[in-house]
Structure 1
Amino acid sequence: MFRTIHVPVDNSDQSNASIDLALAIGKAFRSKLVGSHVYAAKLHDVRFKQMEFTLPDEYKDGAELEKQRKIHDSLITRGLHLISDSYMDEMATWSEEAGLDFERKHFDGKNFIAIVDDINDSDYDLVILGALGQGAVKESQVGSVCERVLRRTRANVLVVRDTQSPDPKGFGDLIVALDGSKASYLSLDIACTLARAFKKNIQVVAVHDPKLEEKSLMEGHLQLASRLAKQRHDADVTTLLLEGEALASLLAHAEAAKPWMLLAGRSGIDTADREPELGVTAERLVRHSTWNVLLAGQVPLAPAQDLAPTDAIKKAIANAL
């Protein structure tokens, strides 16, 4: 499932934790790892031109000024490229030691634009990035780069919060937030794949609002999820139906359970057809979580014919409509 894993790096704590997780997952699935970094040499070039009026007169002559521009551009680009390389050196070394293929990518430009363009032009099975980057302050909930990447791509994105426990075998289990959307069922597939590799338990959680009379519908989805996990992955899952508002209920439950990762679809039943829109619940899960969150967005394989809902599940869903 994870043939290629991409990690945009910036040397922040959560970025470094993202590298650790990419290596752990990469080792389990023999994935190719891709590290990328974006620097802003062109911005420095603009700033240099804005300050040219402060140069001594002997450097303001047309030919001499053009020479100084080229020297400045060369030095800045080379220096930023070296810094960019240094952010990826350890990832490259660790990948080589683990016997994994590794590719470096350098981009000159606006950070989130370069990352989004690369993700949308590539075929990554998983993107891992920190919730917060170098620009984080005490009040930050989620970084602007992380937020903009999530809104502009449909990749499977693992947003990393936990910087203390990089070994996935050492803590927490998996919680899947299920709402019946295609993306949420894909998150179940991903959870089953990760659970097998790292010996994790899986809890599938759905939420119903008593005012909407959808309890039978969500019970039907939980039954189907349990059956799909068993037949597709030979995985046993536990299920839980919560009552209340979706976001508040999920956050409260996850805070008590302290999972290694919470998995959900990037868009729900109401937004699935308006790609690449990010669902409100998914966005707020990332914003308010203190744990790792994986948002599944790539279109899952259609269920095999023998995995269709049973008559009992169909009846439960029909009765709820």
Structure 2
Amino acid sequence: MYHDILVPTDGSDSSTAAVDEAVAIADGEAATVHFLHVIDEGTEMSAGASGMIAPQVTETLEAEAESALDDAERRAGNAGVTHDRTTREGDPHDVIAAYCDDADIDLVVMGASGRSGLKEHLLGSTTDRVVRTVETSVLIARP
């Protein structure tokens, strides 16, 4: 039923639950799992676009992306699931929507909330926007 499953991951507990859910689905479907980490350009901009801090912020965001993707790949590899990984920059919702279209994604599996720190919300803002706007089915995973 599913051939291509997208998992936007930021390394949070919620996105790790999404990775595990997608790997379990893909294992039963022989699907490919696409792990995507979006470096939010808004985070880079709010940290200061000039001076010495900007390169340090960029390095930190890139290291977080690599760590999240390494963990996702390890989980998929341990299950023998076909997967790939991508890092992109931009507005997370826009990047996820574009990736769905570009890669002909059948299912998006996302965590209920990410690293935004807004635990008072039922869904993270990115998850909420994806659910409301993409034409692909979305499964929401909770840790």
Using structure 2 for the length normalisation, give the TM-score.
0.84
- Larger relative contact order (CA 8 Å, sep ≥ 6): 2
Q: Which runs of 5+ in 2 are unaligned?
A: none
Whether 1:150 aligns to 2:131 is yes
Equivalent pair of 1:112/1:145 in contact (CA under 8 Å): yes
The structural deviation recorded for 1:146 is 0.9
1:120 aligns with 101
Q: What letter corresponds to residue 27 of structure 2 in structure 1?
A: K
* Aligned pairs for 1:149-298 within 5 A: 149-161=130-142, 163=143
Whether 1:134 aligns to 2:135 is no
- Higher strand share goes to which structure? 2
1:57 aligns with none
The structural deviation recorded for 1:23 is 1.1
Whether 1:48 aligns to 2:49 is yes
Aligned length: 142
Give the distance between the partners of 1:25 and 1:153, measured in 2 at CA. Answer: 20
Give the distance between the partners of 1:136 and 1:81, measured in 2 at CA. Answer: 19
1:22 aligns with 22
Equivalent pair of 2:41/2:91 in contact (CA under 8 Å): no
Distance verdict in 2 for CA 1:149–1:94, change over 3 Å: same
Equivalent pair of 1:42/1:108 in contact (CA under 8 Å): no
Larger radius of gyration: 1
1:102-130 Cα deviation digits (max 9, x unpaired)? 11111112221211221122211111001
Whether 1:95 aligns to 2:96 is no
Give the distance between the partners of 1:10 and 1:24, measured in 2 at CA. Answer: 19
Q: Which runs of 5+ in 1 are unaligned?
A: 53-67, 164-321
Distance verdict in 2 for CA 1:81–1:90, change over 3 Å: same
1:171 aligns with none
Equivalent pair of 2:9/2:37 in contact (CA under 8 Å): yes
Equivalent pair of 2:118/2:124 in contact (CA under 8 Å): no
Give the distance between the partners of 2:113 and 2:42, measured in 1 at CA. Answer: 24
Whether 1:38 aligns to 2:38 is yes
**Once superposed, which parts of structure 1, at least 4 consecutive aligned residues long, lie more than 4 Å away?**
none
Distance verdict in 2 for CA 1:80–1:137, change over 3 Å: closer
Name the SS for the 1:48 alignment partner.
coil
Distance verdict in 2 for CA 1:137–1:45, change over 3 Å: closer
1:82 aligns with 63
Give the distance between the partners of 1:77 and 1:4, measured in 2 at CA. Answer: 30
1:187 aligns with none
Give the distance between the partners of 1:159 and 1:138, measured in 2 at CA. Answer: 16
Equivalent pair of 2:20/2:75 in contact (CA under 8 Å): no
Q: Percent identity?
A: 30
Using structure 1 for the length normalisation, give the TM-score.
0.40
Q: What letter corresponds to residue 132 of structure 1 in structure 2?
A: S
The structural deviation recorded for 1:10 is 1.6
Name the SS for the 2:49 alignment partner.
helix
Give the distance between the partners of 1:44 and 1:18, measured in 2 at CA. Answer: 25
